[in-house]
Structure 1
């Protein structure tokens, strides 16, 4: 396998970038009638401060973002030097607590009684500790309270997502040159992971290689099954590049497919296109799911499309907005999400086609550009 020289890494986000994000987050909290936001280690904290602590999370680290006033982060005393060296350290105050003291008492001193949105990834022990100290204060999950906190990407974020998508496309182009028949799913998955890294990914999050009947399981990943001539093979893979995610799916066939396999693949291709054509500002997210699902329903395969049509992507592979029935959020320029309809025939085969798409003022733009036609591999 050969590969190109990877592009230079983009410039890091600056303290000014984090200040703008924090100000916007505080305003969103105020608009939602909240007292503030509470961010524990995870993608929301990384997004707002650039800080990603690596220590054991049994020790509470919490960023308090009030609707009025300066943000304050409380950290374990032994981790204070790391927090002080984080990219956004100049845009928040620091407080600390020592082992042997009550971290929740120290944290509670930073909070006004009220109603807060709390990171989805917060440990239950931390939430219970805060509830013990502040029994009259209430908490909502961040996704429930502010689902769009990270959904609108700026130009720098979009460039990272586009680079990650292009790298995943190059990985797909190379994997088509590798022999499939007689090799295990794990071998193909390992090849894909190596290609993602070769083309610039710092982290590989998943490699779904579902051959033959395994393709009917959307999250099969990869196993020891030996791929055979005549198999349909679902390839779904992605990870992080420059801190932002890739996620793409193509379905290939080992040797010539049957008429039925061609038909099912074509239905999924048309469904994916129908979903894409729905993308434009002001349209509810659920309409993407509806458009793709209608194509599959009309073809008689509706019961075999068993998941939502898409999910947001950014610092994590799955995040709001979700392209699913009941999601009334309107699409806005800068949103990025997958469109990935599929048909899964139990004990036989599956087909899925997935692109990452961003909303523009004119409609949608694909961040994956590889052909949707079924590729024939050896």
Structure 2
């Protein structure tokens, strides 16, 4: 476990007077251990005694398990009449008893509004319906709600996290090159998206990459008028004079990238050129202002005001950006007019202004990922 992450978690436990924390969502395990579970059914019991315990289903492959931590298996995936979840809850209680946690409160994130997919992302196996209630009964019901402080852990990325995120960006950079090369007249949105997805999937041929998945959405021409509301690829054929936009989520070794690129195919009209230039300049103005201590609402205002002054304010219909790295959209306040967030060193966020509208018959978004550094920012998506 990363020393910096451990220090942050231990400080939270001390402030909240907690004896143990339980983590199980894939993004939580990536954050805590750099471990991206295959089945998505692993549970970490974290105590600040240097001996956290990771419970994994019997069916979890041994070669994906993180080193340097005690592993206990429970009988999920075995053909047996035994209820594996009852076994898990009993074993968690035994660990707490052995660490003299009785009498101290435990905590975990109760509500998250969805979760990142596990590596078996075609279908995440069902957790028991009574999971939260069962966990609340552990430790004689001695539980403390700490969702806010626990979710704030996702806002900070350690050096180990950044290594993983930068590997993901290398993969995405190659996928963007495929997009730029193949966004040509006669290519369909669907086929272009498939080429991009193929490039990301085959990144696993690199021995350093054990999981690589992409979710590209390509929109072109008049389909872009909806780009601020939703993104989806269709059978539409790309034509000369189209703007073509790639909205891309990618997860590599459990770390997430969220970028958008818009390019012109052939000669675009004056309005298209103007909205592209406006979005590009608004983004650059916002990015140049990023540094610790600046309010997130102020960053949003910089980009939004520039677009408004150019006459396109009503066509910028979403927030400027959000946290990213452990999820496609990480927990934490992002860049929006209503944000109370303040930029801090170690945050990774998107900056993604856009202009779209039926009156314009087109649309543009440019999205990059940035790390907030001690004195400013580092552009992670420099491709």
Q: Does 1:87 align with 2:66?
A: yes
Partner in structure 2 of residue 375 of structure 1: none
Q: Does 1:137 align with 2:143?
A: yes
Q: Is the 8 A contact 1:276 1:339 kept in 2?
A: yes
Partner in structure 1 of residue 191 of structure 2: 187
Partner in structure 2 of residue 63 of structure 1: 44
Figure out how many residues of one structure are paired with residues of the other and give that number. Answer: 346
Q: Is the 8 A contact 1:210 1:221 kept in 2?
A: yes
Structure 1 stretch displaced more, 187-196 or 26-35: 26-35
Match of 1:168 among 165, 172, 175: 172
Deviation (angstroms), 1:146: 2.6
Aligned positions of 1:32-51 closer than 5 A: 32=16, 34-51=18-35
Q: 1:94 to 1:329 in 2, by over 3 A?
A: farther
- Partner secondary structure for residue 206 of structure 1: strand
Q: 1:335 to 1:349 in 2, by over 3 A?
A: same
- Partner secondary structure for residue 263 of structure 1: helix
Deviation (angstroms), 1:140: 4.3
| Cα deviation code 1:38-66 (max 9, x no counterpart) | 20141112332344443474xxx432324
State the superposition RMSD in angstroms. 3.2
The unaligned stretches of length 5 or more in structure 2 are 77-81, 116-126
Q: Is the 8 A contact 1:165 1:247 kept in 2?
A: no
Q: 1:173 to 1:105 in 2, by over 3 A?
A: closer
- Partner Cα separation in structure 1 for residue 201 and residue 50 of structure 2: 43
- Partner secondary structure for residue 153 of structure 2: coil
Q: 1:227 to 1:79 in 2, by over 3 A?
A: closer
Aligned positions of 1:174-253 closer than 5 A: 174-178=178-182, 180-197=184-201, 202-215=211-224, 216-218=226-228, 219-253=230-264
Deviation (angstroms), 1:32: 4.4
Match of 1:358 among 371, 375, 379: 371
- Partner Cα separation in structure 2 for residue 81 and residue 171 of structure 1: 29
- Partner secondary structure for residue 150 of structure 1: helix
Partner in structure 1 of residue 299 of structure 2: 288
Q: 1:80 to 1:301 in 2, by over 3 A?
A: closer
- Partner secondary structure for residue 229 of structure 1: coil
Q: 1:190 to 1:53 in 2, by over 3 A?
A: closer
Alignment TM-score, normalising by the size of structure 1:
0.78
- Partner Cα separation in structure 2 for residue 74 and residue 165 of structure 1: 31
Q: Is the 8 A contact 1:34 1:67 kept in 2?
A: no
Partner in structure 2 of residue 324 of structure 1: 336
| Cα deviation code 1:183-233 (max 9, x no counterpart) | 210111112223334566742331120112222234323111122222221
Alignment TM-score, normalising by the size of structure 2:
0.77
Partner in structure 1 of residue 11 of structure 2: 27
Structure 1 stretch displaced more, 351-360 or 169-178: 169-178
| Cα deviation code 1:64-97 (max 9, x no counterpart) | 3246784344455x358849x8224x44574857
Partner in structure 1 of residue 278 of structure 2: 267
Structure 1 stretch displaced more, 220-229 or 258-267: 220-229
Deviation (angstroms), 1:135: 4.8
- Partner Cα separation in structure 2 for residue 135 and residue 128 of structure 1: 10
- Partner Cα separation in structure 2 for residue 365 and residue 66 of structure 1: 34
Q: Is the 8 A contact 1:38 1:117 kept in 2?
A: yes
Partner in structure 2 of residue 7 of structure 1: none
Structure 1 stretch displaced more, 112-121 or 296-305: 112-121
Deviation (angstroms), 1:123: 6.7
Partner in structure 1 of residue 350 of structure 2: 338
Deviation (angstroms), 1:276: 0.3
- Partner Cα separation in structure 2 for residue 251 and residue 146 of structure 1: 36
Deviation (angstroms), 1:280: 0.4
| Cα deviation code 1:7-61 (max 9, x no counterpart) | xxxxxxxxxx44653343122233345554220141112332344443474xxx4
